[in-house]
Amino acid sequence: MLELRSVTAGYDRAAPVMRGVDLTIAAGASVGLLGPSGCGKSTLARVAALLHRPDAGQVVIDGQPARGWRHRAPREQRTAFGVVFQQPRLSADPRLTLTDLIAEPLRAVGRAPEAAAVVPALAARVGLGKDLIGRRPHEVSDGQLQRACLARALVLRPRWLICDEMTAMLDASTTASLVHVVEEYRAEHGAGLLAVGHDRVLLERWCDGTTHWDDLTGGL
Amino acid sequence: MKPVLSVQGLSVRFRMRGGSHVSAVTDVSFDLAAGECLALVGESGCGKSVLASALLGLLPENAETAGSALLGGLDLLTADERTLARSVRGRRVGLVPQSPAAHLTPVRTVRSQLEESLRELAGVRKPALRAAAEQAAERAAFPAGHLDRYPHELSGGLAQRAATALALIGDAPLLLADEPTTGLDRDLVDRTVDELRRHVGDDRALLLITHDLAAAERIADRVAVMYASRVVELTDAPAFFGAPGPRHPYARGLLDALPEREFTPIPGMPPELTALPAGCAFAARCDRADEACAALPGLVAGAACHHPHVNVLESPRA
Ligand code: SF4
C-alpha cells in the first residue's frame, strides 16, 4: 500500500500547493489523479515518489514510513519507485545513448554488470529495436525517447510506478502503446500505479479508479 | 471561389552533414478556403510542424523546398525574408503558437505587447492605443482586468488567449495554430479550439496543426493525416471521425488507438525520414500490405493507399 498521510507540500512554506492531502493506493492497484495543468498535481507525484520533501505529513510505502527524500532516501525505498515524467528531454541526459539511459538506475545502485542481460529485452518490450538503442536523445523523436524513459523506470523492477503526464506530448498510438507496456508490467509484477494527468478519458480507461485534484485538496 | 491558401506539391528536405537528406515534407497539396478549418494531424516527427515553418518562412538554412504555397498571389516558399517579415508574418498569416507562455515576452505586460502589435501591424497611435488594446483583448475573451499582468502571472488558458489576441491583431486571412492545446486539460482544449473556430468566421481560414484528434474532431471541416512526410488521407471531418471512418489503414489505426475507442496501438514505429522506403511508408506496419504496396500509392479519392477501407454503406455502382 502507498499512503500519503496529511501531506502539506510546495515550494514556499508560506504558500503550499497542497495542504493536508490524504491519498491511498492499495498494493497492485492503480489510481488516476486528474487535475488541470499547473494545479500542483506534479508536486504530489514527486512527493509520492520520494523526490520532493513535504513540509508536513508522511508518505508510507508498504507499511514503512519514508525515511528520506531524493538521494537521501534509503536505497530500498528509493528503488521501490519507477517514475516517468511528461517531458522526456528534461529528464534524459543528452550525452547518454538510450542503452545507457535505460541502464542508469542499475549503475546508480552498483548493479551495472546486469545491464547487458536486462536492457536489450526491456528495450524491445517498449518497442525500441537494436538500431535505435545506440542513439543519443537528439537522434530520436520525443515518442522514442519517452519509450526509453519508461524502460528506465522499469529496469529495477519497482513495486510502484508514478507516471506524471507521461503521454501528454504523444500521439494516440504511442500513448496506447506506452500504457499497454505499463499494464503488462503491472500484471506481471503486481506493481501499483499512480498516473497523474489532465485527460479524463485516458485515465478512466487506464486506471482502476480516478480521483480529482479538487476533491483531494478540498479545492484549496 | 479562390482559396485563401493553395499548397501545391510542397516538399521540404534538409541537407545533413555527410550528404544525407531528411525528407520532412513530401509532395503535399491542399487548398484552404475562407471560412474553412483544415486540421493537419499526425504524430511528432511526421513533418507537420516543418510544413508550418515553411508557410511562415521560418525554415533553417539547410532546407531545400519544392512546389508552391500561394497566399493571395504571393508564394510563401520563394518570398524573401524582408517581404515575409514586413507583410506576411502577423499581417497575412497569424500564428497561434504552441506554448503561449514562451511566445509572449516575459518582461512586458500583456497590454504593452498588444499595444506594440497594434502600432506595428495596424498603425494605431496614441491616444487610441489604449482602447484598441482593450478591444483586441476582448476579441479573444481576454479579461481587461488582467491586461497589466506579466505572462508568468497568467494561467495556461489566459496565456493562450493573450497569444490568440496577438495573432488576431493583423486581421490576417490565414490563421495558423501550431499545437495550440498541448498540455491543456480537456475543458480548456475545448474552449481554446472553439474560440479559434469562432475567429475563423466567414472570411478567414484556419490551419490547425495538432496531434490531438479530439481537438481536430471538434472544429475541423476537413482533416489531412500526415505520415512519414506525406499526406496519406485528406477528407471531410465528419466522414473521417464518424461513418464511414478513415480510409487509410494508418489513419484508421490512429483513431482506434484513442482511449475512447479501441485503445490499441499501431504495431511498430514510423520509418526514419532519412531512409524512407520507395513504396508505401506504412507497409512495414500495415496488415493489408501486399506486393502492390512496393509501389508508391498516389492520393486517390482522399487516400494514398492501394487497399483503402471502403465505405460499406455505399451501394455498389451498377
Ligand atoms: S498502400 Fe499498402 S501498405 Fe500502404 S497503407 Fe495501403 S495497404 Fe497498407
pLDDT score for B311:
67
Model-level pTM?
0.88
Q: In the predicted model, is pLDDT for residue A34 greater than 80? A: yes
Helix (H) or strand (E) holding B50: helix B48-55
The CATH number assigned to the domain holding B185 equals: 3.40.50.300
Interface test with A, best of B40, B41, B43 (most A CBs within 10 A): B43
Query: Is there a single domain that holds both residue B38 and residue B122?
Result: no
pLDDT score for B316:
46
What's the fold here for domain A1-80+158-220? Rossmann fold (3.40.50)
Note whether A173 contacts B: Cβ–Cβ < 8 A: yes
Interface test with B, best of A133, A173, A198 (most B CBs within 10 A): A173
Query: Is there a single domain that holds both residue B71 and residue B196?
Result: yes
- Using a CB cutoff of 8 Å and minimum separation of 24, what contacts does B107-111 make? B107/B150, B108/B150, B109/B147, B109/B148, B109/B149, B109/B150, B110/B137, B110/B142, B110/B146, B110/B147, B110/B148, B110/B149, B110/B150, B110/B151, B110/B154, B110/B162, B110/B165, B111/B147, B111/B148
Q: In the predicted model, is pLDDT for residue A14 greater than 50? A: yes
Domain end call among B142, B171, B200: B171
Query: Is there a single domain that holds both residue B178 and residue B29?
Result: yes
CA torsion A79-A80-A86-A89 (nearest 10°) is: 10
Mutate to test the pocket of ligand 1, among B230, B266, B293 (most ligand atoms within 8 A of CB): B293
Say how far residue A28 (Cα) sits from the centre of its chain: 15
Query: Is there a single domain that holds both residue B44 and residue B69?
Result: yes
Strands B174-178 and B205-210: parallel
Query: Is there a single domain that holds both residue B159 and residue B179?
Result: no
Average pLDDT of the residues of chain A: 93
Cell of B163: 497569444
pLDDT score for A71:
87
Domain end call among B118, B144, B171: B171
Whether B254 sits inside 8 A of A171 (CB atoms) is yes
Query: Is there a single domain that holds both residue B41 and residue B156?
Result: no
Name which of B184, B187, B213 is nearest A172 (Cβ-Cβ). B213
Mutate to test the pocket of ligand 1, among B226, B307, B310 (most ligand atoms within 8 A of CB): B307
Whether A170 sits inside 8 A of B211 (CB atoms) is yes
Ligand 1-lining residues (CB < 6 angstroms): B 249, 280, 282-283, 286, 288-289, 293, 297, 305-307
Query: Is there a single domain that holds both residue B127 and residue B177?
Result: no
Whether A199 sits inside 8 A of B45 (CB atoms) is no
Q: Count how many Cα atoms sit within 13 Å of the Cα of residue B143 in the half-sphere of its side chain.
A: 7
pLDDT score for A179:
98
- Using a CB cutoff of 8 Å and minimum separation of 24, what contacts does A57-61 make? A57/A4, A57/A5, A57/A6, A57/A7, A57/A8, A57/A9, A57/A20, A57/A21, A58/A3, A58/A4, A58/A5, A58/A6, A58/A7, A59/A2, A59/A3, A59/A4, A59/A5, A59/A7, A60/A1, A60/A2, A60/A3, A60/A5, A61/A2, A61/A160
Write the pLDDT tens digit of every residue in A192-209. Answer: 999 999 889 999 999 999
Domain end call among B171, B199, B234: B171
Query: Is there a single domain that holds both residue B165 and residue B300?
Result: no
Residue type, A178: L
Structural domains in chain B (count): 2
User: What is the rounded average pLDDT of the residues A88-115?
Assistant: 94
pLDDT score for B101:
64
Give me ligand 1 centre to Cα B289, in Å.
5
Strands (E), chain B: 5-15, 21-32, 37-41, 63-71, 74-75, 93-96, 174-178, 205-210, 222-227, 230-236
Query: Is there a single domain that holds both residue B201 and residue B120?
Result: no
Give the residue whose CA is nearest to atom 1 of ligand 1.
Answer: B305
Whether A176 sits inside 8 A of B253 (CB atoms) is no
pLDDT score for B207:
97
Per-residue pLDDT of chain B (318 residues; tens, 9 = 90+): 789 999 999 999 999 888 888 999 999 999 999 999 999 999 888 899 899 999 999 899 999 999 999 998 899 999 999 999 888 988 899 998 876 666 678 889 999 999 999 998 888 998 999 999 999 998 888 889 999 998 888 877 788 888 888 988 888 999 999 888 876 777 778 888 998 898 888 889 999 999 899 999 999 999 999 999 999 999 999 999 999 999 999 999 999 999 999 999 999 989 988 889 999 999 999 999 999 999 999 999 999 999 999 865 544 444
Query: Is there a single domain that holds both residue B165 and residue B244?
Result: no
Residue of A188 and B107 predicted with greater confidence: A188
Query: Is there a single domain that holds both residue B265 and residue B190?
Result: yes
Name which of B45, B156, B258 is nearest A172 (Cβ-Cβ). B258
Query: What is the span of the domain harbouring residue B128?
Result: 100-171
DSSP label at residue B300: B
pLDDT score for A134:
94
Query: Is there a single domain that holds both residue B185 and residue B271?
Result: yes
